[in-house]
Structure formats: C-alpha cells, structure tokens
Amino acid sequence: MKVLGIDPGTAACGYGIVHESAGRLRAVDHGWWQTSAGERPERRLRTIFERVAALIEEHAPDAVVLEESYVGADARTALSVGQARGAVLVACALAGVDCTEYAPALVKQAVCGYGRAEKGQVQRMVRAILGLRAPPTPSHAADALAVAICHALAPPLMRVAG
C-alpha cells in the first residue's frame, strides 16, 4: 500500500509518501512547499491543489491522509488551515482517491508511543521507522510522513475514509 500524507497549511504544506509491504515501511518521497503571504488567497489555494494533484498523479497512492488541525484559539489560523484542507480534499475527490484524517495525538501515539510527543521526537522516530539517514526537515514534512505511517500501520477497520 502506498500512502500520501499531507500536513495542510496555506503558508507551509508538508507531504510524505510511504510504501508498506508485508509490515515493512519505506519512504518514497517527502518535502514541503510554501506560498507567499502577499499572494491572493485563491492563488495560494490553487498552488496547494495543483501540488497535491501532481503528487497523486505521479505516485498513484492508494490513500491520502491528513493530520487533523489543532489550532487552539486562533480563528484566523483555523480558517487558513481549513481552506488548505479543502484544497487537498478537492484534489483527492477529483482523482478518485479516498482521504482519511487522523488526530495529531493519534499520529504521535502511533509513531512515538506517546500522544503528546514534541516535534523533535516525531522527527527522530520517523527517521528511525523509515531508516532515513537524517530526521526529515522541516517539521511539516516529518508530520506528513508521520500521518502516512500512522495510516499504513493502522488496522484495516481504523482506515475509514473521513
């Protein structure tokens, strides 16, 4: 199974692709992109949509997974992340690929064994699980790989499209 993980955001959006076979995981690709705060919102969302659509076309994942947003009290950030999430969901829908979401605490529990792990700990565990030479940077790419790992290792009954 090939899983594309996305850490959505309009300023910075991370992605990570893992391949699972017989319980073994390997990293296929990971990275991130930024959009300029000075750019019009619709153009920023178009960039996110196009980049996700291109990743789906290039890698043909069996599933796309998102880390659910944890925003706290900042309504402006929540709106921005929600818009990025929408662009990702539309790219998935148009490509006919199921999309699932996981809470950050569940992702951290799956990857680190502790639902309140710090970002650095997530980066180190993703590196160890995937056998990477160095922790993936920035944290957006590590978070995207982590959510992909979470889905790839989840029991089939937990893999419900969201």
Q: Find, among 153, 156, 128, 126, the residue nearest to 139 by Cα.
A: 126
pLDDT tens track for 109-142: 999 999 999 999 999 999 999 999 999 999 999 9
pTM over 0.85: yes
Unique residue bearing structure tokens 């000075």: 38
pLDDT tens track for 47-67: 999 999 999 999 999 999 998
SS (H, E, C) 77-144: HHHHHHHHHHHHHHHHHHHCCCEEEECHHHHHHHHHCCCCCCHHHHHHHHHHHHCCCCCCCCHHHHHH
pLDDT band at 156 (very low <50, low <70, confident <90, very high): low
Residue 33: predicted pLDDT:
94
Structure letter (DSSP) for residue 53: H
CA distances from 31 to 22, 96, 116, 118 (A): 25, 23, 23, 20
